[in-house]
Amino acid sequence: MTEPLVEVRDVSHATVLHEITLSLAPATVTVLAGRSGSGKSTLCHLIAGVMRPTEGQVLIGGKDAHPAPDWATVSLLPQRLALEPELTVAENVLLPAGVRGAFRGSAFRGAAPAGDLLDRLGLGAIAARPARDTSLGEQQRTALARALVLNPAVAVLDEPTAHQDDDHVHLVLTALAEAVRAGTLAIVATHDQRVIDVAGEVVRLRSGRVVE
């Protein structure tokens, strides 16, 4: 088996998650499935390094996931999107690249495919519009593009199709497949069967435990 990229070792978190152990390989789509309240978002936040588990360990490439490493290692599409409303769609997508550039002295390095990515997600025509003047579905695809723009090793995507119709789900799935081809491990929290159907692995949560 390929070396695991993400390891969740005996993780429990407050009263929400209990004794979760997972080993996830690179370049796959892994779905975290389960009913509302089963703990998917909490597990997403632990893997993305937003929080540290109260017990156990989350490792990315053998290193502690918390505090979050840079966006090219682990990116996050949060359920509430967290876009900058005054910035344009393109500026939001390029934000991680800009931040990375500011720290590394090379602005927008690694962001060359942003134009393609915007087109692939149906955002090309609205790239110059402030995010606040776009639809919720467009905002969600903007946040997805932001999560994929640096070709991260791990992209944690919380309900990426929640606001998408069938045609746009197709665009999201195509972008996911492209990211996986480029080597990304996409960890997707969802109860959308259309996403579950393309997953390499499905982890089912019930009341904060892995049941399958």
Ligand X SMILES: Nc1ncnc2c1ncn2[C@@H]1O[C@H](COP(=O)(O)OP(=O)(O)OP(=O)(O)O)[C@@H](O)[C@H]1O
Q: Does 41 bind ligand X (CB under 6 A)?
A: yes
190 binds ligand X (CB under 6 A): no
The two structure tokens encoding residue 1: 């088996």
Burial 120-150 (b: 16+ CB within 10 A, else e): bbbbeebbeebbeebeebbbbbbbbbbbbbb
DSSP states of 80-120: T----TTSBHHHHHHHHHHHHHHHHT-TTTT-TTHHHHHHH
Using CB under 6 A as the binding rule, whether residue 193 contacts ligand X is answered as no
The answer to the question of residue 140 lying near ligand X (CB under 6 A) is: no
Contact status: 42 vs ligand X (CB under 6 A):
yes
Give the total of residues touching ligand X (CB under 6 A): 12
- Using CB under 6 A as the binding rule, whether residue 16 contacts ligand X is answered as yes
CB of 2: closest distance to ligand X in angstroms?
A: 28
Residue closer to ligand X, measured from CB, 46 or 90:
46
Q: Is 139 in the site for ligand X (CB under 6 A)?
A: no
**Nearest one of 101, 125, 104 to 115, comparing CA atoms:** 125
Minimum CB separation of residue 6 from ligand X in Å reads 17
Residues 40, 120, 141, 146: which binds ligand X (CB under 6 A)?
40
Q: Is the dihedral of CA 168, 44, 117, 97 positive or negative?
A: positive
Residues that bind ligand X (CB under 6 A): 14, 16, 34, 36-42, 79, 189
